[in-house]
Copies of this chain bind each other. A is one copy, B any other.
Amino acid sequence: MCWHLGAGPRGLYPAPMHLFSDNATPVCPNVMAAIAAADQADHGYDGDAWSARLDGAFSDLFGTPVRALWVTTGTAANSIALACLCPPYGGIFCHEESHIVVDECGAPGFYTHGATLMALPGEGAKLSPATLVERSKAIRPDVHQVPARAISITQATEYGLVYTPDEVAAIGRVARDRGLGLHMDGARFANAVASLDCHPGDVTWRAGVDILTFGCVKNGGMAGEALLFFGPQADARAAEAARWRKRGGHLLSKGRYLAAQILAMLEDDLWLNNARAANAAATALAQAVPTRLLHPVQANELFIRLSASEAASLRAQGFDFYDWGEGAARLVTNWAQDAASVRPLAEALKALP
């Protein structure tokens, strides 16, 4: 449960160093340059030259044929993905603290026309195959109960944990065995892959993922995530998704500016390099406070024990972040930081009594 609005003392903003969210960061210069380069006349919607390159660029990156659509936001991408996998009377297994459950104001219910989010527990916002199987077995195969039709997992999770390739594959097998579609919310997919140092295919299509929300905005983009479709149903689902994108009002008439941002992310591994920088910053902070960590730090988020007076002390020194309930705080590092740049905060954390 993310207290991202209104929970922390704001004061003068921007703080000298803020760790509210990777959303609050400016746009990465390479992305801004790509936007400027795309500032030409071209056909509207996704009929432009940039949009036409997305399939190829992602197919190259993932080492398999991929169908790629730009979508304005992660919420829209997630919801459209789920609408492609689950009928209105179906259910979607997901974590009870996932973004689709707690932070999208029911958008998945809107796009799926009322499908049920079947919220499950799990340490660190991770789903386990055992939990999925157990819950699945409890559903009667009659018309009175909502049948499960999809699974949605988040990579990295809302608590900054990462599913290994084996872990995703184990969930992929549950999905395959039970005829469920598998969606991955990759708002911080880059951070996860950078952390795992694996091929992006290893935690997606090779592990049974059908649709991936490939996040860009938190990683240095302005607007625009990529919705990626893998496997034999990719074409049919992408065609369906293109309808939802239009019908949801997400088919921007000047789509080339979104496509250009996404392509820029893929060029020269910008997506990974940005994520590595953010991860390195988080690791540096984690090393400063090993005993305060509420979760292992595997990507770019830290959840730490922090009393109200400690939080106040840090804020007095110019560091800002969100409180996380009582006695805890969430710190999110971003692409514009690295281990060196967060050293002052690391020192301040160490210096806490």
Contact = CB atoms under 8 A, between A and B. Distances in A.
Main secondary structure of the interface of A (DSSP, over half): loop
B144 A105 contact: yes
A197 to B, nearest CB: 27
Nearest to A221: B254
A288 interface: no
A277 to B, nearest CB: 16
Interface in A245-273: 245-254, 257-258
Contacts of A1: 138
A27 interface: yes
A290 to B, nearest CB: 28
Interface residues of A, number: 83
Most buried by B among A26, A112, A247: A247
A43 B13 contact: yes
A45 to B, nearest CB: 7
A222 B35 CA distance: 10
Nearest to A243: B89
Given A109-B116, A249-B73, A24 B6 contact: no
Given A18-B41, A44-B23, A222-B254, A143 B89 contact: no
Interface string A62-106: 000000000111111101100000011101000000000011111
Interface of A: 1, 3-7, 10, 13-14, 18, 20-21, 23-27, 32, 35-36, 39-45, 47, 71-77, 79-80, 87-89, 91, 102-107, 109-117, 138, 140, 142-146, 217-218, 222-223, 240, 242-254, 257-258
Which 10 A-B pairs give the minimum distances between C-beta atoms?
Answer: A76-B249, A109-B114, A23-B44, A23-B253, A75-B249, A14-B41, A113-B113, A143-B246, A105-B246, A89-B243
